[in-house]
Amino acid sequence: MSSTTPDPDYYVKLLAFTKSNHRDVYPAIDPTSPSLSQKGKVVVITGASRGIGRRGFVVSFARAGAKALVLLARSASDLAEAEKEAKAINPSIETLALSVDVADEASVSDAFRAIQEKYGKPDVLVNNAAVLEPLSSILEVDAKKWWYAFELNLRGPFLLTKAFMNLLGPEPTSVPPKSSPTRATIINVTTSGAHTIVPNHSSYCISKLALNQLTAYVAAEDSSITCVCVHPGVIPTDMSSLVPFLNPFAKDSPELVGSVAVWLASGDQRFLSGRYITANWDVEELVRKKDEILDGDKLTTALKGEFGMQQFEKR
């Protein structure tokens, strides 16, 4: 590879937490695997009409045999196409397509009222809807457009998570949390940019950083829910096309993050609850690193530095 040709795996290597990394579906996350079956589950997906919502999460949960997919987005016509795609994969799957503004509390409440009437309690929530723009410096950006990213990328997931948890009800107290099974899964789609400074991307990256912390709060306040924020990798989508410098690296399949989501919703992955992962990371290695992650409080957002009076007592 010449020095002028970017390594397409550059960001995968840069962000690696596991030795093995992937850019497409592999056996451990194959949604058709019986061990990852989503039979009987109701899955709510936002931003389901296009991009990784439709090509990743809808496709993967349909392949995993979910009972029903609740598809949320603004475009009714695009949602109809997503429904057709899900049923082509799994003819027995039920779908409920709802045109929703995820940043509007009344719209979200109406959607979850419809979900409750048809299915009772949902099992999985995928907060995928997001906006990348505006791409501008803080000096030059339009303030209303800058704040709109927070409305969609943070307020939206907050409203959806609150409505989802409201249907679940309070965390059970009769059984010790560690002995009780995970009763629901929330997956928040984030970005690796949340932990770095990317000039001209402040609204997107800061709103996603706040989403990561929302994830941590959900995990802290209800240990019976698995809540994880997932960076999907670099996927060729309409959104990623707005950032031309990423084009040489956009080699991840949308099914990769969709299948990771299926894996997170299977079994008990609560050791990752409240934490950040990248879809490229090998999930079997993550399981083997469970004690390292928990004992070192890794994959969380924190302030760097040495703190506490004990550091001065040593000297």
Asked if the bond preceding 134 is cis, omega within 30° of 0, the reply is yes
Catalytic residue among 148, 204, 276, 289, which?
204
CB-based contact 93:67 (threshold 8 Å): yes
204 is catalytic: yes
Q: In this structure, are residues 286 and 277 in contact, taking their beta carbons and an 8 Å threshold?
A: yes
> For the CA atoms of 132, 133, 136, 140, what is the dihedral angle to 10 degrees?
-140
Tokens, residue 95: 């779908």
Which residues have CB under 8 Å from 289's CB, separation 6+? 17, 18
Contacts of residue 160, Cβ cutoff 8 Å, sequence gap at least 6: 44, 46, 102, 108, 125, 127
Specify the pairing of strand 225-231 against strand 276-278: parallel
Q: Pick the catalytic residue: 208, 217, 276, 289?
A: 208
User: In Å, how far from its chain's centre is CA 249?
Assistant: 20
Establish whether 208 is a catalytic residue: yes
Residues 214, 227, 106, CA angle at the centre, nearest 5°?
60
Radius of gyration (C-alpha) of the chain in whole angstroms: 19
| SS3 (DSSP) at 43 | strand
* Encoded tokens for 221: 């306040």
Do residues 67 and 92 make contact, with C-beta atoms less than 8 angstroms apart? no
Task: Supply the residues annotated as catalytic.
Answer: 204, 208
